Amino acid sequence: MHRRTLLGVLLAVSTPSVAAAQGAQTAILYKNPECLCCDAYAKVLQRSGIAVTVEQTPALAELKREHGVPEPLQGCHTLLIDGYVVEGHVPVAAVKRLLAERPAIRGISLPGMPAGSPGMNGEKTEPFTVYEIGDGAPKVFARE
């Protein structure tokens, strides 16, 4: 093996991956044991580069209260990622924006289970409105 080739191989093996160098995101998705769309949402996140662990819990309502998710903003599952709560089938672009901008809020929510949202069947019929979870009245975080 040529010296230059050997050096290239050694660098490739010893250099951390781009994801590791950029601090790849990891998350825990809490869901009811019977819900299948939550698993589909986790797969969407995983394909976008977010490592997701799925935890089944019968105490989802209590978890939502613990993390300050008001009832009108609740979705079918709760994702905890990098100090934030992401409620429901929030589009990946909004999740990544949250993590990049790091606003002083608890998290974001796409309430309910809108058709066509990530992990949900059906066609998207209107823009999704993603709300901030914070103190006071909900504010719009993104429209997609």
Across residues 3-26, what is the average pLDDT? 40
The secondary element (H helix, E strand) that includes residue 90 is: none
- List Cβ neighbours of 136 (8 Å cut-off, separation of 6 or more): none
pLDDT bin (cut points 50, 70, 90) of residue 9 is: very low
Lowest-confidence region among 7-16, 56-65, 106-115: 7-16
Q: What is the mean pLDDT of the chain?
A: 85
Predicted pLDDT at 36: 87
pLDDT bin (cut points 50, 70, 90) of residue 31 is: very high
Domains, the chain, in order of start with CATH, read 23-143 (3.40.30)
pTM (predicted TM-score): 0.81
Selection from 78, 81, 54, 51 nearest residue 66 by Cα: 78
Cα 39 versus chain centre, distance: 12
- Please give the full DSSP string across 11-58, using - where no structure is assigned: HHHHSPPHHHHTT--EEEEEE-TT-SHHHHHHHHHHHTT-EEEEEE-S
pLDDT bin (cut points 50, 70, 90) of residue 131 is: very high
How, if at all, do strands 77-81 and 26-31 pair? antiparallel
Across residues 86-115, what is the average pLDDT? 96
pLDDT tens profile 43-98 = 999 999 999 999 999 999 999 999 999 999 999 999 999 999 999 999 999 999 99
